[in-house]
């Protein structure tokens, strides 16, 4: 399905879907959404780009192997749980801090770090599967 219309629309659709996936990731902290759904949307964007332009183009665009992205996300999610152990509370208990950076109060939480880790795990693993399936179809 490499029609001219699809190849023309795919970059815009991919960019829009990636932007929306970040919105869903950040919104999911307090409302429905989060790392899992945002990661699925981002992986779908990479799959659409792969269908339009081929797997090698997507692999060059990601810069990292999808499994490496997934592994880093798993490490990030696990480290967010270790932070709670350092504060003497049970594993994966949410910790919030509000440092003042450049005169602005910024709220940071281990819950958001965990969600970003889940996002990266889902993006990496689903993208790896989708690119593997698309690679097989090209043969």
* Whole-angstrom distance, CA of residue 46 vs CA of residue 131: 8
The pLDDT score that the predictor gives to residue 42 is 97
* Whole-angstrom distance, CA of residue 95 vs CA of residue 111: 7
**What's the pTM value of the predicted model, to 2 decimals?**
0.88
The pLDDT score that the predictor gives to residue 2 is 74
- Domain range annotation of the chain: 4-138
* Whole-angstrom distance, CA of residue 20 vs CA of residue 25: 9
Residue 32's CB is within 10 A of a number of other CB atoms, namely 8
Query: Residue 139: pLDDT band by 50, 70, 90 thresholds?
Result: low
Q: Tell me the two tokens of residue 91.
A: 């594993």
Q: Give the pLDDT confidence of 9-63 residue by residue, as tens digits.
A: 999 999 999 999 999 998 886 677 789 999 999 999 999 999 999 999 999 999 9
CA distances from 17 to 21, 24, 129 (A): 6, 10, 19
* Whole-angstrom distance, CA of residue 92 vs CA of residue 94: 6
33 within 8 A of 27, measured Cβ to Cβ: yes
Q: What residues are paired with 96 via a beta bridge?
A: 109
């Amino acid at each position: 399905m490499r029609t001219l219309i699809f190849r023309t629309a795919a970059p815009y659709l991919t960019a829009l879907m990636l932007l929306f996936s970040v919105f869903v990731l950040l919104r999911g902290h307090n409302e429905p959404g989060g790392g899992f759904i945002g990661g699925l949307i981002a992986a779908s964007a990479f799959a659409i780009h792969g269908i339009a332009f081929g797997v090698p183009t997507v692999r060059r665009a990601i810069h990292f192997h999808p499994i490496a992205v997934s592994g880093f996300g798993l490490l990030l999610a696990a480290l967010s749980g270790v932070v709670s152990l350092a504060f003497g509370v049970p594993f994966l208990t949410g910790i919030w801090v509000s440092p003042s950076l450049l005169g602005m109060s910024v709220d940071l939480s281990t819950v958001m770090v965990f969600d970003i880790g889940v996002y990266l795990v889902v993006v990496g693993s689903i993208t790896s599967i989708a690119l593997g399936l698309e690679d097989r179809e090209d043969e």
